[in-house]
Structure 1
Amino acid sequence: MKHLLLLALLLGASFCPSSATAQEQTSYAYIGIEPEIVTNYLGQSATRLGYVRVMVELMVEDVDQLELVEHHMPLLRSTAIEIFGQQPEEKVKSLTGREDIRRAILAALQDHMQKETGAKVIKNVIFTKYLHNA
């Protein structure tokens, strides 16, 4: 009896359309912007610059789009560096500011990919390391 119940559960799970659809839809891939980004940002005074050192990972909507992202990586890296360079010190050093920067980078990268390829391609931007001078 236990074996029949287990078999029924296994067969039911394998024929469940929602689990099969979920597996097909989640083919995300990750690719890092390498090397890590080290750049200056605006300090509190015009004579003082700060620096930030960040590892950025890109979540790509589909594994098949990784080659496309790699092809455009110089543009994507340059955009991330430019956005960091425009940030004031308060934003770079605060948690809410860091999230604003992450969102700005995501929007800019999606915009570039939309213009270059016709699709946003980039699903998310993740900072896996985030260091700044104090």
Structure 2
Amino acid sequence: MKKIASACLFLLLAAFNAQGADDGALEEYAYYGFEPEIVTNYISNRKKLGFVRISVELMVKNPSDLVSIEKHDPLLRAAIVEILGNQAEDKIKSLSGREEVRRECYEVINRLLEAETGKPLVVNLLFTKYLYD
């Protein structure tokens, strides 16, 4: 329900901004956040099981695309969990590795969305929280 309310708010703001914009001079972007945060295990070098907890935001160019993304939330979430679960500890814990994981998530999500909706909807994927142990 919270996601639907935020999608409606984005659509309302987009409509309001469209009335005051100078012939579409400014592009409008919207964000979709996965709730709850994604928590999963990764391949650890230690005997202890490693985990990562992230908040992911998907940036879309058209606020109306939020409805399609919300519809496919479980598919996208599962893809991110699978990608994270297949990473080595060194990659999870390094800055360059985190960027590689982010890029891989972005590419896989756009491929999945293109297969489901006919077009890649995500302009950018952001990790707004990234904690590991």
**What is the alpha-carbon distance in structure 2 between the residues aligned to residue 89 and residue 95 of structure 1?**
12
Out of 13, 20, 25, the residue aligned to residue 22 of structure 1 is 25
Indicate whether 1:115 and 2:118 are aligned. Answer: no
Residue-by-residue CA offset, 1:2-60 (whole Å, 9 max, x unaligned): xxxxxxxxxxxxxxxxx64431xx12110101110111000015x44210010001101
| Aligned pairs (5 A) from 1:73-88 | 73-88=73-88
Q: What residue is the counterpart of 1:49 in the other structure?
A: 49
Aligned length: 112
Indicate whether 1:95 and 2:95 are aligned. Answer: yes
RMSD: 1.2
Partner secondary structure for residue 90 of structure 1: helix
The gaps in structure 1 that reach 5 residues or longer are 1-18
Check conservation: 1:42, 1:48, Cα contact below 8 A: no
TM-score of the two chains, using structure 2 as the length reference? 0.80
**What is the alpha-carbon distance in structure 2 between the residues aligned to residue 22 and residue 113 of structure 1?**
27
**What is the alpha-carbon distance in structure 1 between the residues aligned to residue 48 and residue 117 of structure 2?**
39
Structure with more strand by fraction: 1
Partner secondary structure for residue 77 of structure 1: helix
**What is the alpha-carbon distance in structure 2 between the residues aligned to residue 34 and residue 28 of structure 1?**
19
Residue-by-residue CA offset, 1:56-103 (whole Å, 9 max, x unaligned): 011012101110110000101111111000000000000000000000
**What is the alpha-carbon distance in structure 2 between the residues aligned to residue 106 and residue 131 of structure 1?**
19
Percent identical pairs in the alignment equals 46
Q: What residue is the counterpart of 1:67 in the other structure?
A: 67
**What is the alpha-carbon distance in structure 1 between the residues aligned to residue 25 and residue 42 of structure 2?**
41
**Bigger Rg over Cα:** 1
TM-score of the two chains, using structure 1 as the length reference? 0.79
